[in-house]
Amino acid sequence: MPSHSPETDEPKSYTLAWSATIVLILVYVLGLLIFPPLYDAPKGEASSFVLFIGRFHPIFLHLPVGILAVLCLFELICSTRRGEIKYGDASLLMLLLGSAGAVLAVFAGIMLSREGGYVGGNFSLHQTMGLLGTAGVLVGLVVRLIAMGKGSMELLNAYRALYFVSFGIMGLGAHFGGNMSHGNKFLIEHAPAWFKGPMVATEKLFLSFVEKPKEEKAKPQTEVKAEVKAETKPEEKAPAKPEMADKPATPPTTPTPAPAGDEKLVFQHVILPVLTAKCNKCHCEEKSKGKLRMDTYEMAMAGGENGKNFVAGNLKESLSIERILLPDSDDDHMPPEGKDQLKPEEIELLKWWVEQGASGTQKVSDAKFPATLQATVDGILKG
């Protein structure tokens, strides 16, 4: 790659850089045709090689982001003619390396998605912004080469505007990827109020473009009971069938009613917070590894591709309990190594719940928690 002489700013030829750029663009376009991005669950199983390469996505991702972040500083320096003469070739080299790394990260990410379990708004935004940001950086690379060949500061300024926008899109995409790995509250959990409010509003705005409006939930069973009672009140004189007033017209098959008033349910208010903290970063609406979700009672009981998750009254048949109890060194142990592990008392609480029938409707006031777990339950209820 030729460089400018400090004594002159005459246009130079960048044949080698052009060759690398053309190869990168061809690889990007052809790669997307061979491995098109998916936004729904993959059909069929991907090969072991594809999944092996996909697991390198986090590694391929961080290296180009670091290079492109440093490039932002260099481009600010190069915004003057003197800076461009001195550091223009260094900026071009970083742009080439960052672009190559971004292309690798995109395809590793697409291959990783073939593993399944990646759906939802955060995933859609992460993937789309990664694709758009990488495409923008590649176009910026072309514009920079043209500008450097012509010695045009106007074109270079146009390139910088495009580059900063593209890098910003990449940054947003990386944020939504972080939400997938750590949960939506990870970044803002300890943020000051003046930052948290706008951040949450911005996230909701972006997610509204890719998420379907959630259907209004069916009325909870307690409300249905109240309505039925109200409708049958004039007929209370007939003592023959008093129990019919307490039955909903069409009881749900797997009820998860919201508690009335201050009543709390064992699953919703005691068990689900444990699952949310320790399991649902990988088993929720946004990311359902092994086609398993545990963010609702129905999903938790349904299980995933490896078997039944919780089996009422049967610890041995409950796959989640089985894997939680495996040694930490076992590859099948859950949560995986490096993730926040369940505390002994949380494990005992899950086991107690399964042994008691894994109910979704049992009230906290009716539950007989073991004395050894009462402090844990109280702590969870207090939040």
DSSP annotation string for 308-376: -S-BTTBTTT-HHHHHHTS-TTSTT-SSPTTSPPPPHHHHHHHHHHHHTT--SS-BTTT----GGGHHH
CA dihedral 75, 80, 83, 88 (to 10 degrees): 50
| Shared domain check, 311 and 295 | yes
> Taking a C-beta distance cutoff of 8 angstroms, is the pair 109, 115 a contact?
no
Predicted TM-score of the model (pTM): 0.64
pLDDT digits (tens, 9 = 90+) for 56-72: 998 898 889 999 999 99
pLDDT digits (tens, 9 = 90+) for 30-46: 999 998 998 887 888 88
Mean of the pLDDT values across residues 361-373?
90
Determine, yes or no, domain membership for 5: no
| Shared domain check, 162 and 33 | yes
CA distance 249 to 206: 40
| Shared domain check, 312 and 240 | no
Look at 199 and 133; give whichever has higher pLDDT. 133
- The structural domain count of the chain equals 3
> Taking a C-beta distance cutoff of 8 angstroms, is the pair 273, 380 a contact?
yes
Amino acid at 152: S
Determine, yes or no, domain membership for 176: yes
Q: What is the pLDDT, as a whole number, of residue 258?
A: 47
Min mean pLDDT across 151-160, 165-174, 282-291, 306-315 is at 282-291
Q: What is the CATH number of the domain that holds 35?
A: 1.20.1420
| Shared domain check, 266 and 248 | no
| Shared domain check, 271 and 163 | no
Determine, yes or no, domain membership for 301: yes
| Shared domain check, 246 and 269 | no
| Shared domain check, 265 and 246 | no
| Shared domain check, 175 and 320 | no
CA distance 291 to 306: 9
The parent domain of residue 74 ranges over 15-197
| Shared domain check, 268 and 245 | no
CA distance 233 to 123: 50
Other CB atoms within 10 A of residue 86 CB: 15
- Confidence label for 15 from pLDDT (cuts 50, 70 and 90): very high
Cis amide prior to 335 (ω within 30 degrees): yes
Both tokens of 149, joined, read 């060949």
Q: What is the pLDDT, as a whole number, of residue 285?
A: 67
pLDDT digits (tens, 9 = 90+) for 257-274: 444 445 889 998 999 999
